[in-house]
Amino acid sequence: MADDSIAVVDLDRCQPDRCSYECSNYCPPNRTGKECITLRGEDADVGEPDQIHISEEICLGETCGICVEKCPFDAIEIINLPSELEEDPVHRYGDNAFALYGLPVPEPGSVTGILGPNGIGKTTAVRALAGEMIPNLGQWSEEANWDAVLDRYRGSELQNYIRRVMDGDVTVARKPQYVDQIPKQFDGNTRQLLERTDERGALDELVDRLSIRAVLDQNIDNLSGGELQRVALAATLARDADFYFLDEITPYLDIGQRVTAARLIQELAEDGDRSMLVVEHDLAVLDLLADTLHVAYGEPGAYGVVTSPKSTKNGINEYLNGYLNNENMRIRPSAIEFEEHAPRESAKGTPLLDYPDLEHSYGEGEFSLSVEGGTIYHSEVLGIVGPNGIGKSTLAQLFTGDLEPDNGELDFLVDIAYKPQYIQIDQPMRVDTFLSSITDDFGSSYWNTEVAQPLQLERIMEQQLTDLSGGERQRVAIAACLSEDADLYLLDEPSAHLDVEQRVRATSAIRRYAENHDATVMVIDHDIYMIDLLADRLMVFDGEPAVEGHASTPQEMRAGMNDFLADLEVTFRRDERTGRPRINKPGSQLDRKQKREGEYYYA
């Protein structure tokens, strides 16, 4: 086939005992007697003898694609690689397996960001850079060796780094992506976990700045996701390493905590020439954090390309534009755009519910919440912002009737569908069985277009809920919530563990759902870009976390953003080319001017 195509067979999906090899029966070369699709046979390095193998030499490429259509289990991908991609892969896991092109370049003393979807090879690249795996340069049948890798990168920015990896001279510290898994791997309390990693003697400072002193003696099993995230950050940053890899730092953290985490990472880079590599999907935080950026693109699960480094500003702009300039590569049909000016006063529809001032306290001396009464309208998306521990979930539970207010009465009768921040869908059940138990619309063309497609559920329908990754669980949980028959949909942190592409898709699915169903959606989130793209109005929480909280009445976007960001002392300017919001340097001229004028967001 064309040199620039690859065939990828997902061996977890290829189930020859449940099909009759329609792929090979219909494959045009096979029909003329060639051995394009064959059985792996007894000698196969991976997979079962009766699973298929596709010859990339004989296959006709993506324009044929008959086997892709015929396979009932979506096990086959035939992909024409972009012609701009001139090099061979850095690593290929095997025959008909995932291929990675390009590697990020760790820079001593600086923070390198990676921006791209999940399943695109970021972990693979890091394993290579950490020296845990020798990249095979696409020659999977031969034994890989570092000399060949060094040859390939001679004269490039990676040469010195690779030489150090070869000499065993690079020490590595990592923060895993899914912090929710930590309790399964560690038995003990926070202090015990952290003391094992305190190689720099910096633990005390990290504990204070990440505000985790209060949980030091708590068992890891009892920590919330936000606490686990900060403990994992402290454990990683306390190590004394040359190369730090942080796979997502923001899930479950509020904006203040996100900014603190970003500063800690930058400070560590500057202290002692350490290289920091960060994968992050909250673009405002990535923008603040990274000195340079690699964009990763491709086809998740099939191939991934890591670009050469770009300036953070250009990298994010090009990514949002959907077009990579140097690579001459379109990665998305259209651009992602932000509104530069506060939306006009939203034309309010019919009210869904009115609620009075409310108060709730968990008991004498415990957290108390006061809520300013207001009106919520049909077909609107109401953004809810504020720090962690300020009473957002408490309000959600007042609205769902799980909690009774101490003062004020909720007399509305609306059905509420609720997606909690920490998702618990651990039944041993398939995704399709689970979702079809929620709605009779499951599988209808309308449900497929509105819910399944934008949330990319097709490929995971047959998986067990217990086997899903964090991002997959999130998408199933959003789908489950939107599939309920309700008047008010309440989503707590839908962005957690979604990559940027998935955040944008989920955002438009949620918005469209509100419009088409005359439904009201309330979204609690800390990703300011997501809130910007989603919300018609804002409800702002302030107060003292864990002590007392106050919820404002729903406000117009401009007033709401000003209220929220003034509390955080963070201002945003606009990128001159794309209009996207960028966090100002604290104390910069613009920052001071905007604060004086009280314009924190739509300046």
| Number of separate helices (H) and strands (E) present in the chain | 21, 28
Binding at 65: pick from ligand ADP, ligand SF4, none (beta carbon under 5-8 Å per type):
ligand SF4
Instruction: Supply the minimum distance, in Å, between the C-beta of residue 58 and ligand SF4.
Output: 7
Per-residue b/e over 197-211, b at no fewer than 16 CB within 10 Å?
Answer: bbebebbeebbebbb
Instruction: Supply the minimum distance, in Å, between the C-beta of residue 76 and ligand SF4.
Output: 7
CB atoms inside a 10 Å sphere around CB 602: 17
Six token digits for residue 187: 């038995």
Binding at 37: pick from ligand SF4, ligand ADP, none (beta carbon under 5-8 Å per type):
ligand SF4
CB atoms inside a 10 Å sphere around CB 100: 25
593/81 Cα distance (integer angstroms): 48
Instruction: Supply the minimum distance, in Å, between the C-beta of residue 393 and ligand ADP.
Output: 3
Binding at 66: pick from ligand SF4, ligand ADP, none (beta carbon under 5-8 Å per type):
ligand SF4
Do residues 330 and 318 touch, judged by C-beta distance below 8 A? no
Would you count residue 252 as binding ligand ADP (CB under 6 A)? Answer: no
Beta strand extents in 290-435 (DSSP E only):
292-299, 303-306, 310-311, 323-324, 329-330, 351-355, 358-361, 368-371, 374-377, 381-385, 416-419
Instruction: Supply the minimum distance, in Å, between the C-beta of residue 439 and ligand ADP.
Output: 27
244/173 Cα distance (integer angstroms): 5
Instruction: Supply the minimum distance, in Å, between the C-beta of residue 301 and ligand ADP.
Output: 4
CB nearer to ligand SF4: pick between 19 and 148: 19
CB nearer to ligand ADP: pick between 166 and 546: 546
Do residues 8 and 79 touch, judged by C-beta distance below 8 A? yes
Nearest to 586 by CA among 569, 599, 573, 603: 569
Binding mask 283-312 for ligand ADP (x = CB under 6 A): ------------------x-----------
Binding at 98: pick from ligand SF4, ligand ADP, none (beta carbon under 5-8 Å per type):
ligand ADP
CB nearer to ligand ADP: pick between 121 and 454: 121
Would you count residue 367 as binding ligand ADP (CB under 6 A)? Answer: yes
CB nearer to ligand ADP: pick between 136 and 594: 136
Instruction: Supply the minimum distance, in Å, between the C-beta of residue 240 and ligand ADP.
Output: 25
Nearest to 306 by CA among 283, 335, 284, 277: 277
Binding at 379: pick from ligand SF4, ligand ADP, none (beta carbon under 5-8 Å per type):
none
Which residues of this chain interact with ligand SF4, rule CB under 6 A? Answer: 27-29, 36-37, 54, 59-60, 64-67, 78
Instruction: Supply the minimum distance, in Å, between the C-beta of residue 199 and ligand ADP.
Output: 26
Would you count residue 366 as binding ligand ADP (CB under 6 A)? Answer: yes
Binding at 298: pick from ligand SF4, ligand ADP, none (beta carbon under 5-8 Å per type):
none
Six token digits for residue 526: 């800390």
Binding at 211: pick from ligand SF4, ligand ADP, none (beta carbon under 5-8 Å per type):
none
Do residues 106 and 129 touch, judged by C-beta distance below 8 A? yes
Q: Are strands 520-524 and 548-551 parallel, antiparallel or unpaired?
A: unpaired
Instruction: Supply the minimum distance, in Å, between the C-beta of residue 499 and ligand ADP.
Output: 9
Instruction: Supply the minimum distance, in Å, between the C-beta of residue 575 and ligand ADP.
Output: 26
Binding at 498: pick from ligand ADP, ligand SF4, none (beta carbon under 5-8 Å per type):
none
Binding at 78: pick from ligand ADP, ligand SF4, none (beta carbon under 5-8 Å per type):
ligand SF4
Instruction: Supply the minimum distance, in Å, between the C-beta of residue 294 and ligand ADP.
Output: 12
Residue 139: which region, alpha, beta or left (left: phi > 0; alpha: psi -120 to 50)?
beta
Instruction: Please pick, from the candidates 29, 61, 65, 119, the single residue that binds ligand ADP as defined by CB under 6 A.
Output: 119
Cα dihedral sign for 189, 190, 195, 197?
A: positive
Cα dihedral sign for 388, 389, 392, 393?
A: positive
Instruction: Supply the minimum distance, in Å, between the C-beta of residue 97 and ligand ADP.
Output: 5
CB nearer to ligand ADP: pick between 366 and 518: 366
Binding mask 370-409 for ligand ADP (x = CB under 6 A): ------------------xxxxxxx---------------
192/441 Cα distance (integer angstroms): 49
Look at residue 173 and give its three-state secondary structure: strand
Nearest to 288 by CA among 503, 538, 528: 528
Binding at 19: pick from ligand ADP, ligand SF4, none (beta carbon under 5-8 Å per type):
none
Would you count residue 178 as binding ligand ADP (CB under 6 A)? Answer: no
100/120 Cα distance (integer angstroms): 8
Six token digits for residue 352: 């869904």
- What type of residue sits at position 249? I
Nearest to 563 by CA among 540, 547, 583: 540
CB nearer to ligand ADP: pick between 124 and 584: 124
Instruction: Supply the minimum distance, in Å, between the C-beta of residue 299 and ligand ADP.
Output: 9
Six token digits for residue 112: 């390198």
Six token digits for residue 223: 């920590």
CB nearer to ligand ADP: pick between 248 and 450: 248
Binding at 29: pick from ligand ADP, ligand SF4, none (beta carbon under 5-8 Å per type):
ligand SF4
Element (H, E) at 467: none
Binding at 393: pick from ligand SF4, ligand ADP, none (beta carbon under 5-8 Å per type):
ligand ADP
Binding at 366: pick from ligand ADP, ligand SF4, none (beta carbon under 5-8 Å per type):
ligand ADP
CB nearer to ligand SF4: pick between 66 and 306: 66
159/157 Cα distance (integer angstroms): 6
Q: Which of residues 77-96 bind ligand ADP (CB under 6 A)?
A: 93
Phi, psi of 254 (to 5 degrees): -85, 175
Beta strand extents in 455-553 (DSSP E only):
488-492, 520-524, 537-544, 548-551
CB nearer to ligand ADP: pick between 132 and 362: 362
In the complex, which residues of this chain contact ligand ADP (CB under 6 A)?
93, 97-98, 118-124, 301, 362, 366-367, 388-394, 546
